[in-house]
A and B are shown apart, each in its own frame.
Chain A
Amino acid sequence: MTLIKDRLEISDPFTKISADDAIPDSGALLVSLSVWQDHWEQLIRRQEPVGVQLASDEHPDVIADDVDQLALIALEFPTFRDGRAYSYARLIRERYGFTGELRAVGDVLPDQLHYMERVGFNAFELAGNRGVEDYLRADKDFSVWYQSSTDDRASALRLRTQVKNGG
């Protein structure tokens, strides 16, 4: 498993705990939605970072009011074909104002990282033995984008307007 954050390969500082595990006193934790909801009071009192991982059928509306408490939101791609999390990511960034780590986990392929980055993901847990090189290569595929999105890349529309205005 390879984890990329902000375009660098890192080791994961978060420990995933399942519903059956006791919540440890120290260390960064990544918990499921049910653990977050069941142990909310305990988790927000901890000094160290907490993240929540959402399954693809868990709409992030349920944590919209919590995003300031979270250091990490991880969104699952059970299969690369399941594109719900692209919309979730935009909602989390643009509507709920989350500024922490937004991580794509599950069936995450290099050919999709570019789309994911554009909707607000900044961290990727790559499936299989994919390395950071695949990601960096895929990221260079395009220099032009038609759409404005969550990232700050200028759309063709905006660039055209600038060209026209001599900017």
Chain B
Amino acid sequence: MYRYDEFDSTLVNERVEQFRNQVQRRMAGELTEDQFKPLRLMNGLYLQLHAYMLRINVPYGCLSTRQLRRLAKIANRYDKGFGHFTTRQNIQFNWIKLEETADILAELADVEMNAMQSSGNCVRNITSDHYAGRARDEIEDPRVWCELLRQYSILNPEFSYLPRKFKLAVTGSPNDRAAVAVHDIGLRMHHNEQGEPGFEVIVGGGQGRTPVIGKTIRSWLEPQHIISYVEAILRIYNLYGRRDNMYKARIKILVNALGIDKFRELVDAEWEQIRDSQLEIPAAEIERIDAYFQPPAYEALSDNPDQLDQQRAAEPAFDAWVSNNVVSHKIPGYAIANISLKAPGRVPGDIYANQMESLADLADQYSLGEVRVNHRQNLTLADVRQSDLHALWQALTALELATPNIGLASDIVACPGLDYCALANARSIPIAQDVGLHFSESKKLHDVGQLTINVDGCMNACGHHHVGNIGILGVDKRGKEFYQLTLGGASDQNASLGDRLGPGLPQAEIPGAIESIIDTYLNIRDSGESFIETYRRVGIEPFKEAVYGPGKPTKRVA
């Protein structure tokens, strides 16, 4: 993992003291709420329905066990004993007191963490593949580039007051686990015709009320130019992005208004002016940062130790967990174990402080002291010996962290919704709980296989419903909550936006409607076909008929 040097530490500590002063000025009445708002937002502090919420960055998803223990301490001392992992590799604490925020930030700075730019109209937390550095399908570890971009974006003097928020994601693998196509800038590593690794640059993707799959602005970029190229994009956006309407201020609107070709022309003209400047990343700095991400010292082991087969054969529950939650590691004898934060009835992404502490102990014991956070609100232990999987599973089971449902219908992503969020129109958590419980008890769960369900409480789409195979969007109709379904979304390398199925349904009908959709899939799928593949083959009609009945009106009636 990257470790702060004196420069990183000084900057983060100075930021804490700056914010302490800003909070004091707010509490003394020297700053109005309107003036304070952008200052607190740039330190991740939101005012929610019931309290302040603090959003903390987990850059590109990597947490040391020391950091995880500190998050547990913060949950216990400053919150109600739990935290909430989001869809952008952040953790949120929902019950924060304004006067304690600087102390929390100091606690974080002490373990090389911060909340800088986790909100506000600036470059947000840089996200990446939670299997980075460990995945078999990876071209190169993307985290060195993430860290360079993180440093470039933090307190950037030119780009801290952009038209709107700006999200960057990087993947080093052809199998996209970082949803790069729905980010303001997505970077996808691949080889050019000469076999050199570089980045495809995707721009103008996003969700919210205008969901857009990003467009390729440059098919291959030499990695040492990513800072200058990102700066060119940011400058064009800062100069020409709309500022008259916050709903039309994201870069996707600018890209769509100009067209990708014209936008590319502007960016390339700008880039020509700066590409060979000091923004070109020196090889020494790439090496310095890359050194932090060198693989740990692995033991020489073989894949599939005998005892693993025996343990799987003896215990079906363990076998199910390995089948669903464990994926292959690039080093023989090791495995990547995913930890579901979607136990039946739990709030997706929530984790108790005592679970964090115990998980930190397990990561120290079994996974080289590191935990990963992923964009589907689950955690990952990326370096587990296959021979340790059974012991790890037993310990996770005792913590209620061994739900074997990664990627299945009960592994539901949900935004906080109206239970917490000031922007929400409807609740999300109870829907996720209803649907999750419904399918966790269903024998169909494993038969259905890979199926992503995403729930949102408003069209801002923090729960990414547009790119769920099944999306659920809460809307308010004359004071009542209704839920609109979308089908066919995906955020991987074949990213697509979901299509609206029909009129919104009341909460009570949602589990049944999803059951109908799933039954339809089971009836019409070809052998070996996943839900999304079936959907792409047959389209929306069979599912529409299953939910609304044949010949029923499908115009908006609610």
Q: Identify the A interface with B (CB < 8 A).
A: 59, 80-84, 86-88, 90, 95, 109, 111-112, 114-116, 118-119, 137, 141-149, 156-157, 159-161, 164
Do A141 and B14 touch (CB < 8 A)?
Answer: yes
| Interface membership of B154, Cβ < 8 A | yes
| Contact A144–B38 (Cβ < 8 Å) | no
B155 within 8 A of A: yes
In-complex Cβ contact of A86 among B11, B39, B158 (8 A): B158
Asked if A142 contacts B155 (CB within 8 A), the reply is yes
A101 CA / B157 CA spacing, docked (Å): 19
Interface-lining segment among B250-258, B282-290, B474-482, B536-544:
B282-290
Which of B270-301 touch A at CB < 8 Å?
A: 273, 278-279, 282, 284-285, 288
Would B151 and A156 count as touching, CB distance under 8 A? Answer: yes
Whose C-beta in chain A lies nearest to the C-beta of B151? A146
Additional pairs, 5, CB under 8 Å, beyond known A81-B243, A160-B288? A86-B161, A86-B238, A144-B14, A146-B151, A149-B157
The closest CB in chain B to the CB of A61 belongs to B239
* Closest partner residue, chain A, to B234 (CB atom): A87
Check A147/B156 contact, CB under 8 A, given A109-B35, A141-B14, A156-B151: yes
Question: Nearest Cβ in chain A — how far from B542, in angstroms?
Answer: 48
Whether A160 touches B154, Cβ cut-off 8 Å, given contacts A142-B18, A143-B14, is: no
Are B285 and A161 in contact, CB atoms less than 8 angstroms apart? yes
Neighbour of A83 across the interface among B11, B238, B282, B285, CB < 8 A:
B238
> How far is B239's CA from A33's CA once the two chains are assembled, in angstroms?
18
Provide the bound-state CA to CA distance between A161 and B288, in Å: 10
- The answer to whether A161 and B14 have CB atoms under 8 Å apart is no
- The number of chain B residues with a CB under 8 A from chain A is 38
Complex interface residues of chain B between 3 and 52 (CB less than 8 A to chain A): 5, 7-8, 10-11, 14-15, 17-18, 21-22, 35, 38-39
Q: Is B235 an interface residue (CB 8 A)?
A: yes
**Which B residues lie within 8 Å of A84 (CB)?**
238-239, 243
- Identify which of B157, B158, B160, B285 contacts A157 (C-beta below 8 A): B285
- Chain B 218-237 per-residue mask, 1 if CB under 8 angstroms from chain A, else 0: 00000000000000000100
B405 on the A face (CB < 8 A): no
Given A111-B39, A143-B14, A157-B282, are A86 and B22 also a contact pair (CB < 8 Å)? no
B78 close to A (CB within 8 Å):
no
Q: How far is the CA of A86 from the CA of B160 in the complex (A)?
A: 9
Question: In whole Å, how far is A107's beta carbon from the nearest beta carbon of chain B?
Answer: 9
Contact yes or no, B7 A147, CB < 8 A: no
Q: Which residues of B contact A118 (CB under 8 A)?
A: 157
What are 20 A-B pairs at a CB distance below 8 A? A80-B161, A81-B38, A81-B243, A83-B163, A84-B243, A109-B35, A112-B161, A115-B158, A115-B161, A142-B11, A144-B7, A144-B10, A144-B11, A146-B11, A146-B155, A147-B152, A148-B279, A156-B151, A157-B285, A160-B288
Q: Which residues of B sit under 8 angstroms from A160, Cβ to Cβ?
A: 5, 7, 285, 288
Query: Would you list which residues of chain B between 139 and 169 have a CB under 8 Å from chain A?
Result: 151-152, 154-163
**Of B18, B22, B158, the contact of A119 (CB 8 Å cutoff):** B158
**Chain B binding surface, main DSSP class:** helix
Q: Tell me the B residues contacting A by CB distance below 8 Å.
A: 5, 7-8, 10-11, 14-15, 17-18, 21-22, 35, 38-39, 121, 151-152, 154-163, 235, 238-239, 243, 273, 278-279, 282, 284-285, 288
Q: A156-B151, A157-B282, A160-B7 are in contact. Are A83 and B159 (CB under 8 A)?
A: yes
User: When A83-B238, A87-B239, A142-B18 are in contact, do A95 and B273 touch as well, CB less than 8 Å?
Assistant: yes
Q: Kindly report which residue of chain B lies nearest to residue A157, judged by CB atoms.
A: B285
Tell me the nearest residue of chain A to B154, going by C-beta. A146
Q: Which of chain A's residues has its CB closest to B243's CB?
A: A82
| A84 CB to nearest B CB, Å | 6
A82 contacts which chain B residues (CB < 8 A)? 161, 243
Determine whether the beta carbon of B158 is less than 8 Å from that of A90: yes
Q: Who on chain A is nearest to B14 by CB? A: A142
Q: Which residue of A lies closest to B236 (CB)?
A: A87
Closest 10 CB pairs of A and B: A83-B161, A118-B157, A156-B7, A115-B157, A144-B11, A141-B18, A146-B151, A86-B158, A144-B10, A87-B238
**CA A155 to CA B39, docked complex, whole Å:** 23
Task: Please measure, in the bound complex, the distance between the C-alpha atom of A156 and the C-alpha atom of B160, giving whole angstroms.
Answer: 18
Is B10's CB under 8 angstroms from A83's CB? no
Residues of chain B contacted by A146 (CB below 8 angstroms): 11, 151-152, 154-156
Most buried by A among B22, B38, B239: B239
Chain A positions within 8 Å of B11 at CB level: 142, 144-146, 156
- The distance from the CB of B193 to the nearest CB of chain A, in whole angstroms, is 32
* Nearest-Cβ distance from residue A112 to partner chain B, whole angstroms: 8
B14: chain A residues at CB < 8 Å are 141-144
**Smallest Cβ distance from B296 to chain A, in angstroms?**
24
A149 and B158 form a contact (CB under 8 A): yes
B162 to A, closest residue via Cβ: A83
**Contact between chains at B282 and A86 (CB < 8 Å):** no
